[in-house]
């Protein structure tokens, strides 16, 4: 279940081939105007009125003699069969199922006009490109009018296509079978070349008279971005104006459409309807556009996202979400009808013409706007853990399979003091003075860490990782190690991080904070990694590293085989990749483990990211990065990547707590570096909790029952997590219902899919609960699954 138009975007991106996605989603040049369209809406604030006694909102509006259910039409979108085989037919069907509003069909539609008209009872308008051969344009217009189209929308900002860098890098060509179904001839494979050859570059305002001569339909002109052109359009006798910058796909650097709307509206002064396209992504955007002078808006890219996600149903879902947001915004803003929407609805709305460039808002003392902060703070991934914590606090009696916490039954408070004393005694035995021992606890210490030698010794005896101590940086948890590695390795917007999907949210969250581009690849497929690298290179981008959790992965519980490890290392060597290896669950899992990637690494391709959160205790907040890769400096000298990480760390956390290092160092000394021995009992316990959870699932859901319900799960050999597939959407709403009505908490797997997915799966953590809690929790979970799956039983 998708609740915002942004969620449809991510779903569509995961379903479309990258070159197709770039063609549909990209813009001209550096795509500044694409961003400006959305940012213009982000700056607007609505000013609600209260106690107005309006009753239920009525969003209907009348334009060109037609009543629309809501002031939202469908913008012209070429070659929609790239997104779905039914293309414009599915768009018309999906629109009709949601609301009676017009669909503007492109000259370059991928389905015949007659087929689109027969598909659904919605008003159809024709978007017109005026071609060099006017007879072809005339035939297209006449064919559309004969099919029942009700208006013409002349695109006037396209003497040729803008320079779209994504398509140039991809060498984009239309796939076989995709082309304009209503134009004669050939040569359409390269849209940019066809536009240069066929679009008329010499149009002037007389084209309006020419269109009048070939059709009796109302004419709107699309591409107006100034008051001067708005006046010319009215004087030329158009029936309507579309304020548009072609979705940022023509002149990069043009202003956002909402920024110029007040200027155009003032020039038109109500003489003809004004529509706006570009940047509409929420219901409140519709109200903002109306308040600043539009009569309606046209929705573009989100329609394609819905089409790619689910065909006609996807389009319906997109419009349903948007229309619900429109009516909710009206109700909360105190607006009953569209006629009630005026400039007073928006903050600092201009009284007259305004400059095309956006005007900075007047700041309120001590108040910050989130849209002025880094974009990452609004990313849904940042809210996932907060939501889980909120649910857990709200339902304290629920059994929670959500937290990946170690079982605290093994923690002994006194042991911490024993470890610290063991470490201090070692310092004294090495000849440190009392003052030096005191400093080792109370002072900052070296940025790269005080216990690097102990960490290196432990890695050597426990993991077979033989690296010098100077290649290690001791960090504040593994999360800081991830952050440092990403900051050092990713230097620009063309550098890409590959992550397996599903993926631990910590790495994707760190990447988002650092503006590192992330591409998700299928878990368990080295071939998918290779294909992704080649695709990114074809787009002009380079994959710097791939992040993997090869042992008992969080969230899926999957473990990479030895053959897969060797294949990944060979691929990294062949393609020049680094591997970020994160394996926190090895030493707390029963049985023999596969060798780490770092221990198999002979070409220094692996940056190993480690943590003592599971193998000792999370409260130490101690992690480390093994970064033994040579770095050649500008002066020709060579150092280690670890040195560069330490420089970054000195500007982030300065150093890692010496007190935490003392506790961990003492534990390493006490065990001779063999944490595997220290964790033997712990690993056996976690193995038993995993086995008990799997057994309880099997007992409550025997094979015949789970097949009828459509439920399945994997069987990890260790770690803290397993994944359950269910026949319903396991989202936040389902989680809340599970906690409230059934007393059991879990984690939606969709949290862990950077490019979308996992909507019908949930993650269970088996580590934190006692055996009795596991039995009770599984019983409650199965009751929730059965209740939610009732409509799916066959």
Question: Any idea which residues carry the catalytic annotation?
Answer: 246
Per-residue CA distances from 188 to 80, 108, 195, 282, 531 (Å): 14, 10, 9, 34, 28
Q: Are 615 and 679 in contact (CB under 8 A)?
A: yes
DSSP label at 344? G
Q: What are the residue ranges of helices labelled H in 292-396?
A: 301-333, 384-394
Q: How far is CA 516 from CA 12, 471, 510, in A?
A: 21, 24, 8
What residues have CB less than 8 Å from 395, skipping those under 6 apart?
739, 740, 743, 745
- The structure tokens listed for 439 are 């400093």
Q: 10 Å Cβ neighbour count for 157?
A: 18
Q: Which residue, among 693, 697, 785, 794, has the nearest Cα to 734 in the 3D structure? A: 785
Write the CA distances from 226 to 34, 57, 229, 261, integer angstroms. 18, 33, 5, 8
Tokens of 367: 């108040």
CA distance 261 to 665: 64
Tokens of 30: 């550096």
Please give the Cα distance from 388 to 174 (Å, whole number): 44
Q: DSSP letters of 164-225?
A: -HHHHHHT--PPTT-S-TTS-SS--SSHHHHHHHHB-S---THHHHHHHHH--S-EEEEEE-
User: Position of tokens 């107006």?
Assistant: 224
Helix (H) or strand (E) holding 42: helix 32-42
What is the number of other CB atoms lying within 10 angstroms of the CB of residue 121?
11
Contact between 516 and 547 (Cβ < 8 Å): no
Rounded CA separation 300/155 (Å): 15
Please give the DSSP secondary-structure letter assigned to residue 337: B
Judge contact between 237 and 220, C-beta under 8 A. Answer: no
Strand partners, 153: 127, 220
């Amino acid at each position: 279940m998708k609740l915002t138009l942004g969620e449809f975007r991510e779903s569509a991106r995961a379903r479309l081939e990258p070159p197709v996605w770039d063609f549909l989603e990209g813009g001209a040049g550096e795509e500044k105007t694409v961003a400006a369209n959305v940012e213009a809406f982000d700056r607007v604030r609505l000013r609600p009125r209260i106690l107005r006694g309006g009753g239920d909102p009525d969003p209907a509006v009348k334009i060109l003699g037609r009543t629309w259910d809501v002031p939202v039409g469908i913008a012209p979108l070429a070659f929609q069969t790239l997104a779905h085989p039914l293309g414009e037919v599915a768009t018309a069907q999906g629109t009709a199922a949601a609301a009676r509003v017009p669909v503007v069909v492109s000259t370059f539609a991928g389905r015949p006009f007659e087929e689109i008209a027969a598909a659904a009872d919605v008003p159809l308008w024709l978007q017109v490109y005026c071609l060099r051969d006017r007879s072809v344009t005339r035939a297209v217009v006449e064919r559309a009018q004969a099919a029942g189209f009700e208006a013409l929308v002349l695109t006037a900002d396209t003497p040729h296509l803008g320079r779209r860098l994504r398509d140039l890098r991809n060498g984009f060509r239309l796939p076989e079978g995709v082309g304009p179904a209503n134009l004669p001839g050939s040569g359409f494979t390269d849209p940019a070349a066809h536009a240069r050859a066929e679009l008329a570059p010499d149009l002037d305002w007389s084209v309006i008279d020419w269109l009048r001569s070939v059709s009796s339909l109302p004419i709107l002109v699309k591409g107006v971005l100034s008051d001067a052109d708005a006046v010319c359009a009215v004087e030329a006798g158009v029936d309507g104006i579309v304020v548009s910058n072609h979705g940022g796909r023509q002149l990069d650097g043009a202003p956002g459409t909402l920024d110029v709307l007040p200027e155009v509206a003032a020039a038109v002064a109500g003489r003809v309807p004004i529509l706006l396209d570009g940047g509409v992504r929420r219901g409140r955007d519709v109200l903002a556009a109306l308040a600043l002078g539009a009569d309606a808006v046209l929705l573009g890219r989100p329609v394609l996202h819905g089409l790619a996600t689910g065909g006609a149903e996807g389009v319906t879902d997109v419009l349903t979400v948007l229309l619900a947001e429109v009516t909710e915004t009206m109700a909360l803003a105190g607006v009953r009808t569209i006629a009630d929407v005026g400039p007073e609805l928006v903050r600092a709305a201009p009284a007259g013409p305004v400059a095309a460039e956006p005007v900075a808002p007047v700041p309120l003392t001590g108040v910050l706007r989130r849209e002025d902060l880094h974009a990452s703070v609004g990313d849904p991934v940042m809210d996932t853990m907060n939501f889980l914590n909120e649910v857990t606090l709200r339902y304290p009696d629920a059994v929670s399979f959500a937290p990946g916490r170690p079982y605290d039954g093994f923690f002994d408070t006194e042991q911490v003091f024993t470890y610290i004393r063991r470490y201090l005694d070692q310092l004294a035995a090495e000849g440190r003075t009392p003052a030096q021992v005191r400093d080792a606890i109370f002072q900052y210490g070296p940025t790269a860490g005080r216990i690097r030698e102990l960490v290196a010794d432990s890695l050597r005896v426990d993991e077979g990782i033989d690296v010098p101590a100077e290649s290690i940086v001791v960090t504040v948890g593994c999360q800081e190690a991830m952050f440092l590695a990403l900051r050092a390795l990713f230097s620009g917007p063309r550098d890409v991080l590959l992550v397996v999907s599903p993926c631990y949210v910590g790495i994707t969250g760190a990447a988002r904070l650092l503006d590192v581009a992330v591409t998700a690849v299928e878990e368990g497929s080295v071939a998918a990694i290779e294909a992704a690298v080649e695709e990114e290179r074809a787009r002009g981008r380079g994959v710097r590293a791939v992040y993997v959790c090869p042992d008992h992965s969080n969230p899926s519980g999957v473990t990479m085989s030895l053959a897969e490890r060797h294949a990944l290392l060979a691929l990294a060597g062949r393609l020049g990749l680094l591997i970020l290896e994160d394996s926190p669950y090895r030493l707390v899992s029963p049985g023999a483990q596969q060798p780490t990637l770092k221990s198999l690494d002979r070409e220094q391709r692996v940056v190993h990211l480690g943590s003592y959160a599971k193998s000792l205790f999370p409260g130490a907040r101690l992690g480390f990065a093994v970064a033994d890769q040579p770095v050649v400096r500008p002066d020709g000298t060579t150092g280690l990547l670890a040195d560069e990480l330490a420089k970054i760390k000195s500007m982030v956390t300065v150093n890692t707590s010496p007190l935490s290092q003392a506790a961990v160092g003492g534990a390493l000394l006490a065990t001779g570096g063999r944490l595997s021995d220290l964790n033997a009992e712990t690993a056996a316990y976690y193995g038993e909790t995993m086995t008990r959870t799997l057994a309880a699932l099997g007992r409550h859901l025997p094979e015949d029952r789970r097949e009828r319900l459509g439920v399945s799960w994997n069987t990890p050999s260790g770690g803290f997590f397993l994944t359950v597939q269910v026949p319903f959407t396991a989202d936040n709403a389902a989680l809340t219902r599970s906690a409230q009505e059934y007393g059991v908490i879990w984690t939606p797997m969709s949290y862990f899919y950077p490019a979308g997915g996992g909507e019908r799966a949930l993650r269970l953590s088996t580590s934190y609960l006692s055996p009795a809690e596991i039995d009770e929790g599984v019983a409650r979970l199965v009751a929730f699954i059965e209740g939610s799956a009732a409509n799916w039983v066959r």
